[in-house]
Amino acid sequence: MNTAGHPEATARRGLELTPFRGLRYDPDRVSSLAAVTSPPYDVVVRPDGLHHLQDADPYNIVRLILPQADTAGVRNEQAAKTLRRWLSEGVLTADPEPGLYVYEQHDGNGMLQRGIIGALRVTEPSEGLVLPHEDVMPHVVADRAALMRATSANLEPLLLTYRGNGTAADATAVIERTIERPPLFSTTTEDGFSHRLWSITDPADLAGIQSDLTRHQALIADGHHRWATYRRLRAEHPSPSPWDYGLVLLVDTARYPLRVRAIHRLLHDLPVPDALAALDGHFRLRRLEVPLTEALEALADAARAGNAYLLAGDGAFHLVDRPDPALLARTVPTDRPAAWRTLDATVLHATLLAEIWHIPEDDPTRIAYIHDTAATVEKAERDGGTAVLMHPVREDVVRDLARQGVTMPRKSTSFGPKPASGLVLRALDL
């Protein structure tokens, strides 16, 4: 009997993580490995962070993941030419044999993350193996897809999590044996995180990891747009092909818990006084003449009782909370679970952005999504816009909604620490 399309057969197939020949920087060809790394493309705060990274080293990975030119076509062709040049010059070299990679990050203050980098078989949400928890913006997927087509490469891993049994067993046992060996490299980036990478090529170790992962499903922690891009590109290429797989970092959060932080909004053309005036009568508004750290503490306190936000951009912080229940009943969709309807991001998008401020959530000329809190405030003050600071969602809420097949509003969460871009790449023609 042909069971290829049967849901239970698909579920038994599980997560398939495949070894690949990683592309890595030759440390003798760059000023330092730290100087050629970058945060993921959507974390880099333009143009400040972009210029800083470009100046750090002429071979910084940002020249591939965020090429700069007047048009998208020129940008992508520039990235492709840069990648080909770096390969021909030996700046980037392929490891001699396929492997999986153990990747470790720690900040010296108790945050330790270890996971496995590999090429994961791309699946559809209906298969229930890789669970998204956020919607994506079509123009971002189109942009990433064009870049991947041009370079024929996965330039940075996305971050996936799964839940093991909390002990050093199965894949985790291989990880913890591997880290006893000398790493391929060790470096510390300017954010204070140290990074180490090992390769796993032993057939028994590879088989143990692969067997373990077939029993798990994964949650997309960071990289929804890149996963959607993998799915689009797989559909464009007849199977089997290298496009059937995409570069990921898989982390067992039962063993190595992640942090969950908020992603903030910057409203470009909305001054703070206008934003507050439109909210008056619909929310409680309080002006806070305190530093950012104290304002965020006030936001956390208010968020325990319900939806709350911090507005900034005029030199002060404005705590916005206690929305009018009648307004929420009229503006928030009722066809999803209560845990979704009461999310701060849901109320922000359905009520504040759509109903009160009339700002499309996917219009980059009107709204930006920024991970760094201080940078969001600074840009709002410099540009005369409004920063909307968010309180993070708990990981268990994210996972429970994802298991129900319910996606959260775009850019609702920021899991971390995120893998540094530039430590290992995947070329699809190797």
Selection from 33, 80, 56, 46 nearest residue 193 by Cα: 33
pLDDT (0 to 100) of residue 9: 36
Q: Which two tokens stand for residue 172?
A: 């985790």
Element (H, E) at 187: strand 185-188
Task: For the chain, give every domain's residue range.
Answer: 17-259+416-427, 264-411
* Beta pairing partners, 367: 267
CA atoms of 282 and 322, how far apart (whole Å): 8
pLDDT in tens, 278-289: 999 999 999 999
What is the reported pLDDT for 7?
A: 36
Identify the pLDDT of residue 136.
Answer: 87
| Measured distance between the N- and C-terminal CA atoms of the chain, rounded to whole angstroms | 35
In the chain, how long is the greatest CA-to-CA distance?
A: 70
Give the sign of the dihedral formed by CA 122, CA 127, CA 130, CA 132: positive
Q: What are the angstrom distances between the C-alpha of 240 and each of 72, 211, 244, 259?
A: 29, 21, 7, 36
User: Whole-model pTM?
Assistant: 0.81
Backbone angles phi, psi at 299, to 5 degrees: -65, -45
So what CATH class is 17-259+416-427?
alpha beta
Q: What is the pLDDT of residue 354?
A: 96
Question: What's residue 42's pLDDT?
Answer: 83
Measured over the CA atoms of residue 83, residue 242, residue 228 and residue 139, the dihedral's sign is positive
Task: List, in order, residues 6 or more apart from 1 with CB less than 8 Å away.
Answer: none
- How many angstroms separate the CA atoms of 121 and 66, rounded? 25
Q: Which residues of the chain have pLDDT under 70?
A: 1-12, 45-48, 166-169
From the list 375, 389, 376, 371, the residue with the least C-alpha distance to 295 is 389
